Amino acid sequence: MGIRLPYQDRQDAGRTLAGLLSDPAFREQAVVLGLPRGGVPVAAEVAKALDAPLDVFIVRKLGVPGHEELAMGAIASGGVIVVNEDVMRMMQLDASEITRAAERATDTIQRQERDFRGDGPAARLEGRQVILVDDGLATGATMRAAARAIRGQRPQRLVIAVPVGARTTCDAFRDEADRVICAATPEPFQAVGLWYQDFSQTTDEDVRALLAASRGRRHAQTT
């Protein structure tokens, strides 16, 4: 399957990615998780194609105090923390900085989960085939935190799937998942947004609407 870049938008990227997941094996006990916000429109197309439930899996970057754009780590739903040791050494930070940032981020994660899902429960991951989706893979810090947190919930199989990614980052994830699918690995990579014609921000309302539409579609199939 030839991949044409740039993608028109995240929906176009999701449909392309779904085409690479067309093997019936990907449908078995599948649940599709999107990393909010930008990963959710991509994941929604994958979930629709696989006739699988859609949910979010939230990861927050832990920024260096005073330099929030610089990630010293990331924390995922469930409390799994991934630390960027290089940044910690460079900025001469100790573990207490990570702990304080993680405590603040945990509150935000829990609030976002309630906001996105409402009263609905999180998708059950144990024994399932989890397909973890984002709109691209650059450094991979947030995806790594998500993958390790999901592993802790004992899925039967973990698949990481993105429409575009840096080749070295995609290769580095072979030890984090049972299968890694990077639809395109252009070089030089530079940034995810370069490979989309429309890379406008996905809003919280967009995420809520996509989750609601997925739930409605699956409910209609069972009634």
Residue 71 belongs to a domain with what CATH number? 3.30.1310
Distance CA 84, CA 122 (A): 28
Q: Is 16 a domain residue? A: yes
Q: Per-residue pLDDT for the chain (223 aa), expressed as one digit of tens each?
A: 579 999 999 999 999 999 999 999 999 999 999 999 999 999 999 999 999 999 999 999 898 999 887 889 889 988 889 888 988 999 999 999 999 999 999 999 999 999 999 888 899 999 999 999 999 999 888 899 899 999 999 999 999 999 999 999 999 999 999 999 999 999 999 999 999 999 999 999 999 999 999 998 876 877 6
73/165 same-domain check: no
CA distance readout (Å), 12 to 44, 126, 197: 11, 30, 10
Q: Is 5 a domain residue? A: no
163/133 same-domain check: yes
Q: Is 2 a domain residue? A: no
Q: Which residue has the tokens 């006739």?
A: 51
172/183 same-domain check: yes
Q: Is 25 a domain residue? A: yes
200/127 same-domain check: yes
Nearest to 1 by CA among 19, 18, 14: 19
54/67 same-domain check: no
136 class by beta-carbon count within 10 Å (0-12 exposed, 13-18 middle, 19+ buried): buried
135/149 same-domain check: yes
User: In which domain, by residue range, is 196 found?
Assistant: 10-58+123-221
Output the pTM of the full model.
Answer: 0.91
- Report whether 135 contacts 167 (CB < 8 A): no
Beta bridge partners of 82: 74
